[in-house]
Structure 1
Amino acid sequence: MGDAARDRQDWQDAITNYGLALVLAPTNLPIRIQLGHVLKEAGRWSEAEAAYRLACAADPADAELRLHLGHVLKMQQRREEAIEIYLEALDIDPSLIIARNELIAMGGRDFLPKGQYGRPAISASLGRISGLLDQNLDAIREWLTVSTYPVEAYHNFRSTFPVQPPPAAAGSSLVVLIDAVDVDPDLLRLSLNSLLDQRDSNWTAVIRASANLHEHPVASYACQDSRITFISDDAKEPWPTQGPDLMLLTEAGCSLDCEAVGWLRYASERTGADVIYADHDHHTYDWRRGATYSRPALHAMPDIHDQTNTPDPPLSLLVRTVAHPLMVTFGAAAGSEWRRSILVNALASGLIVAHLPRILSSKRISDTATMVHAPSTRKSTRCTDSNERILVIIPTRDQADILMSCLDSLKEKLSNPQAVDVLVIDHRSTEADALNLLSERVLSGDIEVMKVDEPFNWGRFNNLAATRQNHDIFVFANNDIEFLTQGWDDVVRSSLADEAVGIIGARLLYPDRTIQHAGIAMGINQGRPVHEGVGADMASGGPMNRWCRPRQASAVTGALMAIKRSIFEAVEGFDERLAVAYNDIDLCLRIREAGFRVLYEPRLEAIHHESKTRGHNVDDARVAWDDGELADMYDKWGEAMLHEPGKNPHWVSVGSRAHDGYRDLSMSQILHHLDRSALINPWVIRQEKTKME
């Protein structure tokens, strides 16, 4: 009777009959397992968990039982326990692919036991690619999964995939400039040896060194090889006569990959860029075991904000000598800051800057060296008008408690209250507390209220509000926002004072102080846009501290965003056809299409009591609506919905995590990224609007 009820999906009847069967046969394991299954289907997860745990105790060697137990723990949002159970299942049966994939989907790639990634797993997967077409396709998908390396296995990834040679390039004259002022001789020796090992040997080198190095044995490299020249540390011009076509700037302690010169020369020839930067990492060294690689600096496409405050400026930088006067002299700053200033000046001057997604260099660090990522403390030096008027627009409906918190925090954190007005859009509030709050705040002069009595449409409501008053800046905020930044209005004015910036978005935290939004990345979760950093501790900086630094983003959330009125009107505001979701992303894409930057600004910080306003898309109707608006977005924007210029292609995305592990790149992937990056502004949406076949 239980089986019959299960087959017709009458879960309650099945639960009753399997329970009665167990009364008669309490040690019958298959019946207990079936009871767990139907309890799970009925949504009675804690009872299903109990049934599966008893079954696991009765059969400790059954991996699939632990898989089912892991599923119900995951459904109860008990991530750590679910990961532990999935690992137990893999210990019992390492070939249980579902358990491995569940671990990866839950962000547990770093917990994978050895053998589930890297060479052993790749070999095992390739051995399974045989048989029927469907079997082959499954095996290929599996191979792609296991060839992705977890974040903690970066050294294994780096060691497994050496840099492949570039296509052939012409022989433009190239000088390698090595800054070796005030460094230990062994670091310069490391760099010179890596230079001598280059497969492309068509180079000369100029070493700017302190006086003590000129008399050290390391200077004998210049005697052994006529391509190497030492100059004094006070030299401004690296050569007395006509310079070369190309200069490769680096520093002592940098070990260049043997393909570095060849790749950079080829990238210059292919793109015609004035400046090219590549990726790098760091390493410690043991004379017996060799190098141990860590801390990859995997850069995004060219972005002046990102390069101004990145903790890891490019270690190898190729420049054309005719590009800019700053590039043919040594700057006052040395090392990484010298290269940073050249790169930032090139971006500010509108020169063509390209990013080559190849790990071409590695910086030697000591065994005890650590990298501490702290929020950026760089302050804007732009002149701002503290009297620029800001209008904060807040749609609301009832929920007096969260609206009061929003209004109070907004006012308390202002630097110039006289220049900030608040307009609350009241959408059919009926609760007495909410109506009393709105009335009191209007009488006190804190806010104005605009009543809207029509079906919900977030974009339309904000468009209506934006026509009401004459302000320089609009701040769109949800009613469940709690402002944290003291002087947030100054941050908004300062960030928008940059004429290139069209809109800024905030760093948002959940009430438990984990990250809710650190910019939006496109094309991540099965092609969907996702918030970066979701669930990470607020102290976590993310890769290269990106969640704590101002940088360009593909889009930012409308839960808290600020935009210049002139730009909002120029792009004609929000698209009112997108009534619920994606209207904020659509606005950001249109701003990028118009040539302006979308800036993620972590100095603007707030708590977002997400789900108190509209809730999550948990029922079929909401999911269908969300998918419909997403389809409209893809029809409108095409490939721009899938292309993320802020993500280095080495990073693998899984679920909502944009930085879940590492992958090697094919030649076509490398060149596709390189060519896109060499556009005058790779963040501007151009031909991406064409849909992919």
Structure 2
Amino acid sequence: MGDAARDRQDWQGAITNYGLALVLAPENLPIRIQLGHALKEAGRWSEAETTYRLACAADPANSELRLHLGHVLKIQERRAEAIEAYLDALDIDPGLTLARNELISMGARDFLPSEQYGQPAMSASLARISSLLDQNLEAIREWITVSTYPAEAYHNFRSTFPVQPPPPAAVGSSLAVVIDAVDVDPDLLRLSLNSLLDQRDGNWTAVVRASASLHEHAVASYVYQDRRISFVSDGADAPWLALDSDLVLLTEAGCRLDREAVGWLRYASERTRADVIYADHDHHTYDWRRGATYSRPALHAMPDIHDQANTPDPPLCLLVRAGARPLIAAASIETAGKERRQSILLAALSTGLTVAHLPRILSSKRISDAAMSNNEPLPRSEARRVEGEERLLVIIPTRDQPDLLRSCLDSLKEKLSNPHSVDVMVIDHRSTQANTLNLLSERALSGDIEIMQVDEPFNWGRFNNLAATGQGHDILVFANNDVEFLTDGWDDVVRGSLAGEAVGVIGARLLYPDRTIQHAGIAMGVNHGRPVHEGVGADMASGGPMNRWHRSRQTSAVTGALMAVKRRVFEAVGGFDERLAIAYNDIDLCLRVREAGFRVLYEPGLEAIHHESKTRGHNVDAARVAWDDAELADMYDKWGQAMLQEPGNNPHWVAAESRTHDGYRDLSMSEVLQHLDRSALINPWAIHQRK
């Protein structure tokens, strides 16, 4: 009877009958295990844990029991104990891949022996695949998992996968390398010149802009060793601006070019005909005995003026075609080094020139050991603020939950810069609690809010469309009733972030009540093809790769828990899709805004607490899962590849479950070229083709 109840997912019936069976046969281990499974599925996790521990005591050599114990501890967010259980399972059976994969998915690779990931594990898995490929596709999935290098193993990844040569191409364009070497140590310039001399593509000339002291240093003898190299003084911009080469590669002393760098950049220029091209880079320390140790990769996204304006690590190399040469002249007046390259890149992005991103790590900047060990979190970029009279309408759907609603309304009002230009409309969806009705009545009488009564089945998109219709406000702010505003003058941040003509939607940085990150933008196609929130569970001080969770940047989508939209953009795209009643309506709106040519920004300067439980969704019934899957299927049917393409992430990054930046992988030639070609489009963030 317990088995029959289990098969029809009647967990309470299964628990009752398995419990009765154990009364009759208390030593029957399989029945006890089935009871544990039923308790877990019913959400009675503490009882399930007790049952599994009793089973483990009865069968100490059973690795799968430790695996199940780890699962129930993980569900309860008891991370340390779950890791211990999975490690116990691996101690009993080192080949238990489910336990190993759980540790990898929890970010606990450092607990694993080295043979469980990286090169040794790749080799072992490939050996198995060679004999099982035809009949065991699961082996391929296993290889993909273990071939990922964790974030902390970047040096191993970099050392294992050297940059491969570009495809064969005719060498038609002349190329001049400009090295900024003002006020630098001679050894840094020596490093850059040696890396240039080691290029596999030797069709280049080089101009070094050097301090007077370097002209008299031994490093200047490179001019006499190789006629392709020349030095100019630090005040002489004109000599290199007058270069007649087709391409100019801008970099700085201390940059070590990969031996394939010139070849790849020339190839990318010939392939895309882009005006400006940038690639990826990293940093390294150097010991004459051990060689280079690589760290701090700067893995860039598709071209994005917002991202490049506030990145802590602008591209180390920038290739500029002859047609864009005026950008160099304009940038050279006031800037030098990385500031010059950043200025040129931003000018190209703002003036509509073609900019392409080449996803190859083509250079590395030498840093000191002290700089390498500096793990101080980078500051959050300042949000643009605009004081003005643009009117905002905040729309908040609610159904009872008076305490949450009161906190939302109070924080919203207290943090305003210009209360007279912000109105609040609460959509009351069948509230019945006296405290809620009293709160709504009190706030409406005081003029704090307007109320829209909606007496129909729940539909988030429809409710918000109804509230937005016919209002004369310039900006619509959609907020959940469980949001607590943290930013002083948040209305000025909204105005400032939406001030750009090309910006249509902004989304907030959301925190859980324990001040860990709940939302830092949405990435597409991550968790088995599903969109996920970036940064989930990370400490609020964590900036993520290249400080991305602390910086304003384009993102594929943002959550409707707190988003702001220009009214004219909202109306132009037709508002929310009311067929998506519960989920994905916010993502769908963002995709339609991008399809219309506008940008969606993640704005960390707009910050709020989202009182959503971290454990939400653990005990979801089959009907809710089916509904969510059906709406997701509608999204894929509507948007096709746009649901899988993530222009905000460099393809070297590997995602795992809900973690968007879990580790690194090497790229195939086709992946490199596909990304390069797409990045060279006028707007690589636009939705170009629906399914």
Calculate the TM-score normalised by the size of structure 1: 0.94
**Offset from partner CA, 1:630-684 (integer Å, 9 cap, x none):** 1111111111011110011001111111111111100011111111100001001
Which whole-Å CA distance do the structure 2 matches of 1:507 and 1:530 have between them?
Answer: 14
**Offset from partner CA, 1:597-623 (integer Å, 9 cap, x none):** 0010000000111259x9788111111
**Offset from partner CA, 1:25-50 (integer Å, 9 cap, x none):** 6xxxxx44652442232335434434
Aligned with 1:35 (options 32, 35, 52): 32
The answer for the alignment partner of 2:74 in structure 1 is 74
**Offset from partner CA, 1:192-214 (integer Å, 9 cap, x none):** 11111111111111111111111
Which whole-Å CA distance do the structure 1 matches of 2:536 and 2:122 have between them?
Answer: 30
Q: Give the alignment of 1:10-89 within 5 angstroms.
A: 10-18=14-22, 20-22=24-26, 31-32=28-29, 34-43=31-40, 44-54=44-54, 56=56, 62-89=62-89
Aligned with 1:471 (options 465, 470, 473): 473
1:375 aligns with 2:379: yes
User: Which amino acid letter does the alignment assign opposite residue 154 of structure 2?
Assistant: Y
For residue 53 of structure 1, report the CA deviation from its aligned partner.
3.7
For residue 91 of structure 1, report the CA deviation from its aligned partner.
3.8
The answer for the alignment partner of 2:405 in structure 1 is 403
The answer for the alignment partner of 1:555 in structure 2 is 557
User: Which amino acid letter does the alignment assign opposite residue 684 of structure 1?
Assistant: A
CA contact (8 A) 1:510 1:609 kept: yes
Which whole-Å CA distance do the structure 2 matches of 1:102 and 1:337 have between them?
Answer: 44
Q: Give the alignment of 1:634-653 within 5 angstroms.
A: 634-653=636-655
The answer for the alignment partner of 1:173 in structure 2 is 174
- In structure 2, do the counterparts of structure 1 residues 484 and 616 end up closer, same or farther at CA, with 3 Å as the change threshold? farther
**Offset from partner CA, 1:375-415 (integer Å, 9 cap, x none):** 3334538xx46111111111111111111111100000000
1:257 aligns with 2:258: yes
Secondary structure of the equivalent of 1:449? strand
For residue 350 of structure 1, report the CA deviation from its aligned partner.
0.7
User: Which amino acid letter does the alignment assign opposite residue 145 of structure 1?
Assistant: T
Number of equivalent positions: 680
Bigger shift: residues 623-632 or 5-14: 5-14
**Offset from partner CA, 1:214-238 (integer Å, 9 cap, x none):** 1111111111111111111111224
User: Which amino acid letter does the alignment assign opposite residue 567 of structure 1?
Assistant: V
- In structure 2, do the counterparts of structure 1 residues 42 and 56 end up closer, same or farther at CA, with 3 Å as the change threshold? closer
The answer for the alignment partner of 1:319 in structure 2 is 320
The answer for the alignment partner of 2:607 in structure 1 is 605
For residue 89 of structure 1, report the CA deviation from its aligned partner.
2.7
CA contact (8 A) 1:506 1:606 kept: yes
**Offset from partner CA, 1:306-347 (integer Å, 9 cap, x none):** 000011111111111221412256342222111111111110
Aligned with 1:415 (options 411, 414, 417): 417
**Offset from partner CA, 1:362-381 (integer Å, 9 cap, x none):** 11111111253333334538
User: Which amino acid letter does the alignment assign opposite residue 247 of structure 2?
Assistant: L
Bigger shift: residues 348-357 or 53-62: 53-62
The answer for the alignment partner of 1:201 in structure 2 is 202
Q: Give the alignment of 1:427-438 within 5 angstroms.
A: 427-438=429-440
**Offset from partner CA, 1:111-149 (integer Å, 9 cap, x none):** 432011222111111111244556442222211111111
Aligned with 1:512 (options 514, 522, 530): 514
CA contact (8 A) 2:573 2:593 kept: yes
The answer for the alignment partner of 1:105 in structure 2 is 105
Secondary structure of the equivalent of 1:42? helix
CA contact (8 A) 2:177 2:251 kept: yes
CA contact (8 A) 1:517 1:533 kept: yes
User: Which amino acid letter does the alignment assign opposite residue 204 of structure 2?
Assistant: W
User: Which amino acid letter does the alignment assign opposite residue 309 of structure 1?
Assistant: N
Which whole-Å CA distance do the structure 2 matches of 1:420 and 1:5 have between them?
Answer: 55
Q: Which runs of 4+ in 1 moved over 6 A?
A: 1-9, 614-617
- In structure 2, do the counterparts of structure 1 residues 432 and 55 end up closer, same or farther at CA, with 3 Å as the change threshold? closer
**Offset from partner CA, 1:460-504 (integer Å, 9 cap, x none):** 111111124211111111111100000000001111110010010
- In structure 2, do the counterparts of structure 1 residues 132 and 112 end up closer, same or farther at CA, with 3 Å as the change threshold? closer
Which whole-Å CA distance do the structure 1 matches of 2:327 and 2:271 have between them?
Answer: 24
For residue 429 of structure 1, report the CA deviation from its aligned partner.
1.2
- In structure 2, do the counterparts of structure 1 residues 468 and 135 end up closer, same or farther at CA, with 3 Å as the change threshold? same
User: Which amino acid letter does the alignment assign opposite residue 377 of structure 2?
Assistant: H
- In structure 2, do the counterparts of structure 1 residues 431 and 81 end up closer, same or farther at CA, with 3 Å as the change threshold? same
CA contact (8 A) 2:525 2:645 kept: yes
The answer for the alignment partner of 2:283 in structure 1 is 282
The answer for the alignment partner of 2:657 in structure 1 is 655
For residue 68 of structure 1, report the CA deviation from its aligned partner.
2.8
The answer for the alignment partner of 1:580 in structure 2 is 582
1:633 aligns with 2:630: no
Which whole-Å CA distance do the structure 2 matches of 1:598 and 1:4 have between them?
Answer: 50
CA contact (8 A) 1:422 1:446 kept: yes
- In structure 2, do the counterparts of structure 1 residues 670 and 306 end up closer, same or farther at CA, with 3 Å as the change threshold? same
The answer for the alignment partner of 1:484 in structure 2 is 486
The answer for the alignment partner of 1:28 in structure 2 is none
CA contact (8 A) 2:392 2:421 kept: yes
Which whole-Å CA distance do the structure 2 matches of 1:428 and 1:86 have between them?
Answer: 46
Secondary structure of the equivalent of 1:128? helix
**Offset from partner CA, 1:172-208 (integer Å, 9 cap, x none):** 1101111111111111111111111111111111111
Secondary structure of the equivalent of 2:116? coil
Structure 1: 5+ residue runs without aligned partners? 26-30
Secondary structure of the equivalent of 1:423? strand
CA contact (8 A) 1:208 1:233 kept: yes
User: Which amino acid letter does the alignment assign opposite residue 554 of structure 1?
Assistant: S
Q: Give the alignment of 1:496-511 within 5 angstroms.
A: 496-511=498-513
Which whole-Å CA distance do the structure 2 matches of 1:555 and 1:258 have between them?
Answer: 38
Calculate the TM-score normalised by the size of structure 2: 0.94
The answer for the alignment partner of 1:95 in structure 2 is 95
Which whole-Å CA distance do the structure 2 matches of 1:617 and 1:69 have between them?
Answer: 17
Which whole-Å CA distance do the structure 2 matches of 1:459 and 1:256 have between them?
Answer: 51
For residue 106 of structure 1, report the CA deviation from its aligned partner.
2.7
**Offset from partner CA, 1:538-590 (integer Å, 9 cap, x none):** 11101111111000010001111111111111111111111111111111111
The answer for the alignment partner of 2:455 in structure 1 is 453
User: Which amino acid letter does the alignment assign opposite residue 526 of structure 2?
Assistant: I
Give the aligned CA root-mean-square deviation in angstroms: 2.3
Aligned with 2:339 (options 331, 337, 340): 337
Secondary structure of the equivalent of 1:323? helix
CA contact (8 A) 2:35 2:51 kept: no
Secondary structure of the equivalent of 2:523? strand
- In structure 2, do the counterparts of structure 1 residues 241 and 132 end up closer, same or farther at CA, with 3 Å as the change threshold? closer
Secondary structure of the equivalent of 2:319? strand
The answer for the alignment partner of 1:667 in structure 2 is 669
Secondary structure of the equivalent of 1:266? helix
CA contact (8 A) 1:509 1:538 kept: yes
Bigger shift: residues 279-288 or 63-72: 63-72
Which whole-Å CA distance do the structure 2 matches of 1:136 and 1:511 have between them?
Answer: 45
Which whole-Å CA distance do the structure 2 matches of 1:468 and 1:239 have between them?
Answer: 59
User: Which amino acid letter does the alignment assign opposite residue 38 of structure 2?
Assistant: E
Which whole-Å CA distance do the structure 1 matches of 2:575 and 2:15 have between them?
Answer: 50
Percent of residue pairs bearing the same amino acid type: 77
User: Which amino acid letter does the alignment assign opposite residue 317 of structure 2?
Assistant: S
